[in-house]
Structure 1
Amino acid sequence: MKRIGIDVGGTNTDAVLIDGDSIIASIKVPTTQDVMSGVKAALAHVAAHINDTPRPLDAVMIGTTHFTNAVVERSRLERVAAIRVALPTGASLPPMCDWPEDLYRAVDPMIFMVHGGHEYDGSPLVPMREDEVRDAALKIRDAGVTSVAISATFSPLTTECEDRAAEIVRSVIPEARITLSNSLGRIGLLERENVALLNAALQSLGKTTVQAFKTALDDIGLQAPFFLTQNDGTVALADVAAANPVFSFASGPTNSMRGAAFLTGLSDAMVVDVGGTTSDIGCLVGGFPREANNIVHIGGVRTLFRMPDLLPVALGGGTIVDPETGAIGPKSVGYRILQDARVFGGATLTTSDIAVAAGLIEMGDPALVADLDPDFVQTALARIRAMVAENFDQMKTSAEDVPLIAVGGGAFLIPDEVPGASAVIRVENAGVANALGAAMAQVSGEVDQVFSDMTREQALAEAEAAARRAAIDAGADEASLQVLEVEDIPIAYLPGGARRVRVRVIGDISFG
């Protein structure tokens, strides 16, 4: 199968063309301020090699930081309406009560709380007041808001209230883009609601981003299906992914981890992905990133949904080094490294300058950093080593030594020996591991839901069937689907033999 993988990072945009397991072409270009210029340049380079092998191009896989950046930068977010079905008990902590003030202002929410929801055992809290939902929908329509997030207490146990509320909103606002919290998050009303609201605020950006990528592909003359990479190291059809942009928040680091597994053949290892601005440390389990099972903060917002367990560190190839004290970061020159770093004629001292002065890598003009005091350089390197060691140890789950795979454009910053690592593994093409991970990705479907009033076997069968449907909707070939993970946790305090079941299936892309 011939594919193009592209990953848009904050500093670099990487692209590869693969045919089966062979890398035909690759390139790393600086991410441009307008983003799409860099994307087109990377695509044009690898597209020029498509005819180097006889098979036609099957697909283009794209990983992007657009959605994460929008939340972090508080920009390009759509005004949202929040409908919470939880009264009378759910009024003490209103929607978005824990959001940073600047992000709250950026989405300028309309907030409505109505009667309804369910108890922890699945019984109705009180009957849902449909007239209250309709009144809320009328006010939302009159305000011109079309992005709506609906949440209800214990909706992962029963989706009845959210589903009915969505029907009422659609009857009033046919063009509304509605996000249901049960389709994204887990048990925990605030965190699940937060995910739904972030998703609602990003759906318009999701649509315009996908269209921009489509235009870029057309401009290059690439006629192939295209997919966006997801938080779990898989991909989904671009139009499907655009409806749930939160599932692409951490796609860059997960692409790198999947690329690391591809390049080394290791399915269980630690990975450090060193970019231009940050390093992300994660753990490969069975060839995929270990999933976070606790609170993940996105732009200062508490969430709990499908995210990889990653530790971001303010260390990258463009990280600024204080020329007086040798302090490392946290600021970075980012995509301006080719203009601002000293080895490229700039005036800002970066970790790349330190690495060149120490002879760790060749780039730019070494004569421009020849004046750096060797003791200063060694002190800076010692601080970098300490940062890596401390954060690597924090992410380990075992006292045993484990292999550490160093990937990313700034992988030269990782020392050859790290306490707790059985080996530091470096491989060819590690600098474009993120694009490789995108190019070789499969499609997944996941269900994480509470089932009750049925046997364990029935619950597992229902969850697997739903996960298979989700994978097929995302673009998977039904015949290739296989179960990757099953989690089955009985919930003793709920009646009806309730259990939380999480099933994840994975398969190849369908081109039928």
Structure 2
Amino acid sequence: MRIGIDVGGTHTDAVLINHDQILSHNKSLTTADVTTGVQNAIDKLLQDSLINADQIEAVMIGTTQFTNSVVERKNLSKVAAIRIALPSGQELKPMADWPSDIASVIGENIYMLDGGFLYDGSPIAPTNSEQIRLMIDSLLSKKITSIAISSAFSPMNPEPEIALGKQIQTAIPEANITLSHKIGSLGILERENAAILNASLLEFANKVVEAFIEALAKRNIKCPMYISQNDGTLMSADFVRQFPALTFASGPTNSLRGASKLSGLQDAIVVDIGGTTSDIGVLNNGFPRESNNIIKVGGVRTNFRMPDIQAVALGGGTCIDLLSSSNELRIGPHSVGHRLVEDGLIFGGNTLTASDIAVAAGLSDMGNKKNVSHLPSDIVQKALLQMTQLLDDNIDMMKPNSEPMPVILVGGGSILVSGNIKAASSILRPDYAGVANAIGAAIAQIGGESESMLSYRQIPRDQAITQVTQQASDQAIKAGANPSSIKVTDIEETAIPYMDEGMTKIRVKVVGDIGKCFEGNTDDL
């Protein structure tokens, strides 16, 4: 028995499943107090299914709270940004290209230290104990406890970050520390940014986790709770306290995983049509295709794993305007969002939305159809054609090649698509498509990922891949995976021709079933 909940910007979706059987599901408007919405969703699941709370074995929650905190510049802590890369890494300081509003909230508490290593393992400079002492004294005087530590090429040699983290933890036991090699990949500026964002969320993450645990306790649900990551896997509650930034973009990822489960397809295009946007992603072996581009979160460049998602301004609440001068329609980009039930014509409002068009066309029976009976049929058909064409164009851009692919439509707004999509070899609308994101959360496994640069001249290829796989497996186990269930889902090898010794970047991703929850410690931070 699992409960999956996905908290979106417009709706909160919830589902109760027993293995592959869906026992209950519901969709409600997201409340300003997210935990209240979660409690209400759970209440309705248990009430409708007649299942007792003590029968629930796990609860999985996908939340946008951490993303919203960065975007809205709220609930962020002051952070000490420490870079170990001098003397070579001093020209461009941490947060140099950040938007001024978020930089001022986090504070420009920057510390530059000697040390770090180059890609070939040679040291940049020896550590300077006096620099470290002065830095710790400064942290104590400023009472800063959220700390991000980054060193040059730390994904290849994390020792400088680990050693400094232990020194700071000893001097400041209450410190919340993020080490950049734990969250980002090669590229110190973007990896450093990801670590700083994560550190700024650590205090808030603790509050969010406690609120969710309290919400479950009030419902007498005592099973483990997990939070969705943005790669389609889960984190235990304790792991979320350390890496809240890994939840960024977890909503679309849950939808892709749910679409795969509902359709039985491992490779396909998924279009999740919500109240405000349509998120288009690609399923690759049952998991979301990851983006190879630099991803901006709240205007900050990062390089940690993120799903490759194309967001299109089309959803159930999208506003549709008739341009009287040209007799043409303008679809979006504005949306009434969660106010659809107040502003949409079918609900007695005054705004023409995509949902009104769907009801007028007979694609849905929600609301009051009489309120849209006055819409001319040619306007309705023109709007449907434009909405379908908008999706078709964006789906075509997301395909891995020129060949048509199966397209899975999910989300509450999937009713908006009625015409032919040329980029699709077939179109599937599986049962329970409206709560695919909650299903994706409910079925998710625990994941781990590791990246390293190794020379096949110095270490045999099989041994190198085994080494990186073990690192990824260790990460999954710490996140709560059962060690005996771990399997490799993706291996990526990229030759680096401009480096000596035939260097190759190896990235390995693994997943495993839920096991014993990770019990946080500071041994390796």
Q: Shorter chain as normaliser: what TM range?
A: over 0.9
Assess if the C-alpha contact under 8 Å between 1:417 and 1:423 holds in 2: no
Q: Any residues of structure 2 matched to 1:55-204 within 5 Å, and which? A: 56-204=55-203
Provide, for residues 56-98 of structure 1, a one-character-per-residue CA deviation record: whole Å limited to 9, x for no partner.
3210111111111111122121111101112222222211112
Aligned to 1:308: 307
CA distance in 2, matches of 1:493, 1:160: 25
Provide, for residues 433-473 of structure 1, a one-character-per-residue CA deviation record: whole Å limited to 9, x for no partner.
00011111111111112235533333222212221111111
Assess if the C-alpha contact under 8 Å between 2:388 and 2:420 holds in 1: no
Q: Structure 2 counterpart of 1:67, which letter?
A: F
Query: Comparing 321-330 with 217-226, which one deviates more in the overlay?
Result: 321-330
Q: How far off its partner does 1:496 sit?
A: 5.1
CA distance in 1, matches of 2:299, 2:386: 27
Q: How far off its partner does 1:105 sit?
A: 2.2
CA distance in 2, matches of 1:329, 1:71: 25
Aligned to 2:331: 328
CA distance in 1, matches of 2:266, 2:460: 34
Query: Comparing 162-171 with 272-281, which one deviates more in the overlay?
Result: 162-171
Q: How far off its partner does 1:54 sit?
A: 12
Aligned to 2:521: none
Aligned to 1:235: 234
Q: Any residues of structure 2 matched to 1:25-44 within 5 Å, and which? A: 25-44=24-43
Q: Structure 1 counterpart of 2:470, which letter?
A: A
Secondary structure, in 3 states, of the residue corresponding to 2:55? coil
Assess if the C-alpha contact under 8 Å between 2:405 and 2:423 holds in 1: yes
Q: How far off its partner does 1:167 sit?
A: 2.1
Q: How far off its partner does 1:497 sit?
A: 5.2
Q: Given the alignment, which residue of 387, 392, 414 partners 2:390?
A: 387
CA distance in 2, matches of 1:492, 1:423: 41
Aligned to 1:481: 486
Q: How far off its partner does 1:113 sit?
A: 1.6
Q: Any residues of structure 2 matched to 1:290-439 within 5 Å, and which? A: 290-324=289-323, 326-439=329-442
Assess if the C-alpha contact under 8 Å between 2:46 and 2:53 holds in 1: no
CA distance in 1, matches of 2:430, 2:172: 53
Aligned to 2:4: 5
Secondary structure, in 3 states, of the residue corresponding to 1:439? helix
CA distance in 2, matches of 1:416, 1:427: 17
Secondary structure, in 3 states, of the residue corresponding to 1:457? helix
Q: Any residues of structure 2 matched to 1:449-488 within 5 Å, and which? A: 449-451=452-454, 453-488=458-493
Q: How far off its partner does 1:52 sit?
A: 4.9
Assess if the C-alpha contact under 8 Å between 2:279 and 2:309 holds in 1: yes
CA distance in 1, matches of 2:53, 2:316: 38
Assess if the C-alpha contact under 8 Å between 1:15 and 1:28 holds in 2: yes
Q: TM-score, normalised by structure 1?
A: 0.95
CA distance in 1, matches of 2:377, 2:42: 41
Query: Comparing 424-433 with 122-131, which one deviates more in the overlay?
Result: 122-131
Aligned to 2:279: 280
Aligned to 2:448: 445
Assess if the C-alpha contact under 8 Å between 1:65 and 1:249 holds in 2: yes
Provide, for residues 166-187 of structure 1, a one-character-per-residue CA deviation record: whole Å limited to 9, x for no partner.
1222233221111111111111
Q: Structure 2 counterpart of 1:288, which letter?
A: F
Provide, for residues 297-333 of structure 1, a one-character-per-residue CA deviation record: whole Å limited to 9, x for no partner.
2122211111111111121112222354632222322
Q: Give the % identical residues.
A: 48
Query: Comparing 307-316 with 346-355, which one deviates more in the overlay?
Result: 346-355
Assess if the C-alpha contact under 8 Å between 1:15 and 1:26 holds in 2: yes
Q: How far off its partner does 1:53 sit?
A: 9.4
Aligned to 1:248: 247
CA distance in 2, matches of 1:161, 1:498: 22
Q: Any residues of structure 2 matched to 1:201-220 within 5 Å, and which? A: 201-220=200-219
CA RMSD of aligned residues (A): 2.0
Q: How far off its partner does 1:55 sit?
A: 9.5
Secondary structure, in 3 states, of the residue corresponding to 1:410? helix
CA distance in 1, matches of 2:516, 2:297: 34
Secondary structure, in 3 states, of the residue corresponding to 2:356? helix
Distance 1:41 1:88, change over 3 A: same
Aligned to 2:522: none
Distance 1:377 1:134, change over 3 A: farther
Assess if the C-alpha contact under 8 Å between 2:319 and 2:336 holds in 1: yes
Secondary structure, in 3 states, of the residue corresponding to 2:507? strand
CA distance in 2, matches of 1:137, 1:346: 59
CA distance in 2, matches of 1:188, 1:350: 44
Secondary structure, in 3 states, of the residue corresponding to 2:89? helix
Distance 1:477 1:69, change over 3 A: same
Q: How far off its partner does 1:189 sit?
A: 1.1
Secondary structure, in 3 states, of the residue corresponding to 2:118? coil
Assess if the C-alpha contact under 8 Å between 1:318 and 1:350 holds in 2: yes
CA distance in 2, matches of 1:266, 1:498: 36
Which runs of no fewer than 5 residues in structure 2 stay unpaired? Answer: 518-525
Secondary structure, in 3 states, of the residue corresponding to 1:261? helix
CA distance in 1, matches of 2:315, 2:132: 48
Q: How far off its partner does 1:410 sit?
A: 0.7
CA distance in 2, matches of 1:63, 1:54: 20
Assess if the C-alpha contact under 8 Å between 2:4 and 2:438 holds in 1: yes
Assess if the C-alpha contact under 8 Å between 1:191 and 1:303 holds in 2: yes
Assess if the C-alpha contact under 8 Å between 1:255 and 1:437 holds in 2: yes
Q: Structure 2 counterpart of 1:510, which letter?
A: G
Q: How far off its partner does 1:492 sit?
A: 4.1
Q: Any residues of structure 2 matched to 1:484-503 within 5 Å, and which? A: 484-495=489-500, 498-503=503-508
Secondary structure, in 3 states, of the residue corresponding to 1:378? helix
Distance 1:391 1:134, change over 3 A: farther
Aligned to 1:265: 264
Q: How far off its partner does 1:152 sit?
A: 1.2
Assess if the C-alpha contact under 8 Å between 1:146 and 1:176 holds in 2: yes
Q: How far off its partner does 1:505 sit?
A: 1.5
Q: Structure 1 counterpart of 2:492, which letter?
A: E
Secondary structure, in 3 states, of the residue corresponding to 1:309? coil
Q: Structure 1 counterpart of 2:461, which letter?
A: R
CA distance in 1, matches of 2:49, 2:483: 28
